[in-house]
């Protein structure tokens, strides 16, 4: 049977509603699972994509400070318009870890949402995370990858 019923507002196109019930729910659940609250920092890697731009909007509406990370100046500047507190163009940043930590109170974000399937992103996420922070993955790189336990203990 049905577990829940959602009222779709009059005038909302069925295709838009379907997207919100798929990508929207996935993005919202990812933000919630980071356990980041209003006034805290959430870094979103892959923020300009289909899930990321929704996560930016949900988090900012929840009062969360959002550091949105993606590639390309134009793409990241659009994220400011969607509510990101700060943006990082990973193509234009010499040291992304330092940049993210500086933005997020010089300690790193309280939580990280990884939407990019890039393997290097996972290492960047673990190394930029504030101690006792949370990383939530909404995408995975192909194959397997190693996690440095020292990095995990020291930064997560």
Residue by residue, DSSP assigns 77-125 as: HHHHHTT-SEEEETTT-S-HHHHHHHHTTTT--SEEEE----HHHHHHH
* Domains of the chain with CATH codes: 37-155 (3.40.50.720)
Give the tens place of pLDDT for each residue, 105-130. Answer: 999 999 999 999 888 888 888 889 99
Give the tens place of pLDDT for each residue, 34-90. Answer: 999 999 999 999 999 999 999 999 999 999 999 999 999 999 999 999 999 999 999
Nearest to 93 by CA among 144, 128, 62, 140: 128
Q: What are phi and psi of 29, to 5 degrees?
A: -60, -40
Give CA–CA dist 96/101, Å, rounded.
9
Residue 137, pLDDT above cutoff 60? yes
Give CA–CA dist 44/109, Å, rounded.
10
Residue 156, pLDDT above cutoff 70? no
Q: What are phi and psi of 122, to 5 degrees?
A: -65, -40
Which pLDDT does position 51 carry in this prediction?
95
């Amino acid at each position: 049977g049905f577990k829940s019923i959602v009222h779709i507002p009059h005038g909302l196109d069925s295709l838009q509603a379907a997207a919100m019930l798929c990508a929207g729910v996935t993005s919202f659940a990812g933000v919630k699972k980071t356990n980041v609250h209003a006034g805290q920092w959430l870094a979103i890697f892959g923020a300009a994509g289909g899930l990321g731009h929704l996560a930016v909007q949900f988090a900012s509406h929840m009062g969360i400070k959002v550091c949105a990370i993606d590639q390309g100046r134009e793409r990241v500047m659009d994220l400011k318009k969607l509510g990101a507190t700060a943006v990082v163009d990973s193509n234009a940043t010499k040291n992304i870890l330092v940049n993210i930590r500086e933005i997020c109170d010089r300690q790193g974000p309280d939580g990280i949402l990884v939407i990019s399937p890039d393997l290097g992103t996972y290492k960047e996420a673990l190394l930029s995370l504030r101690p006792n922070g949370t990383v939530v993955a909404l995408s995975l790189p192909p194959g397997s990858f190693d996690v440095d336990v020292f990095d995990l203990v020291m930064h997560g």
